[in-house]
């Protein structure tokens, strides 16, 4: 795994934040969840920004936030908000079946995901993004019922 930055990518609800926390715990290093970083900085959640100012305004803020997080050398693990990643990172795609993501999205309505308002819209978006996620350096399959702990261990074994 050497000392490259680790960036977790994958669809909404696949478990990026909790797996990043489990990994950071194992490696004893600092992690940042990009959505939480944006909330702290902007005082509004990604959902509020998308709903009030539109998706493209959110993407601008997201890209500035990503740049700043990647510049902080102390941060080793970054959980992205379903967005993008850079060549300076070891990117890991958490490939969870759509059912797993949808169960998570619908169980956590409080997370408010305007880009996944209903099952059909979410599934279309999920399918259209797979080719991009597949560009990640590593693909880790997140099977139904697997805990974040198990998935973090698979990452440690595979990278």
Phi and psi torsions of 14, nearest 5°: -80, -15
Q: What residues numbered 86-145 form the site for ligand S3P, per CB under 6 A?
A: 113, 115
Return all residues near 72 (Cβ < 8 A) that are at least 6 apart. 32
Q: Show the beta-strand stretches assigned E in 34-111.
A: 75-79, 89-95
Size of the site for ligand S3P (CB under 6 A): 9
47 binds ligand S3P (CB under 6 A): yes
Q: Which of 6, 8, 9, 12 binds ligand S3P (CB under 6 A)?
A: 12
Stretch that binds ligand S3P, among 22-30, 43-51, 89-97, 134-142 (CB under 6 A): 43-51
Smallest gap from residue 153 Cβ to ligand S3P (A) = 22
Contact in structure between 116 and 105 (CB atoms under 8 Å) = yes
Contact in structure between 36 and 50 (CB atoms under 8 Å) = no
82 binds ligand S3P (CB under 6 A): yes
H/E element holding 4?
none
39 binds ligand S3P (CB under 6 A): no
Contacts with ligand S3P, residue ranges (CB under 6 A): 12, 35, 46-47, 50, 81-82, 113, 115
């Amino acid at each position: 795994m050497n000392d490259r930055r680790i960036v977790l990518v994958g669809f909404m609800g696949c478990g990026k934040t909790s797996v990043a926390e489990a990994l950071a715990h194992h490696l004893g290093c600092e992690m940042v969840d990009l959505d939480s970083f944006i909330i702290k900085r902007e005082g509004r959640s990604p959902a509020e920004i998308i709903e009030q100012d539109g998706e493209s305004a959110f993407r601008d803020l997201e890209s500035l936030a990503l740049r700043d997080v990647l510049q902080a050398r102390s941060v080793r693990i970054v959980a992205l908000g379903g967005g993008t990643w850079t060549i300076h990172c070891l990117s890991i795609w958490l490939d969870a079946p759509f059912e797993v993501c949808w169960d998570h999205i619908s169980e956590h309505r409080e997370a408010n995901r305007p880009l996944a308002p209903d099952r059909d819209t979410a599934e279309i978006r999920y399918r259209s993004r797979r080719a991009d996620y597949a560009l990640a350096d590593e693909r880790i399959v997140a099977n139904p019922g697997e805990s974040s702990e198990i998935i973090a261990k698979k990452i440690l074994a595979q990278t």
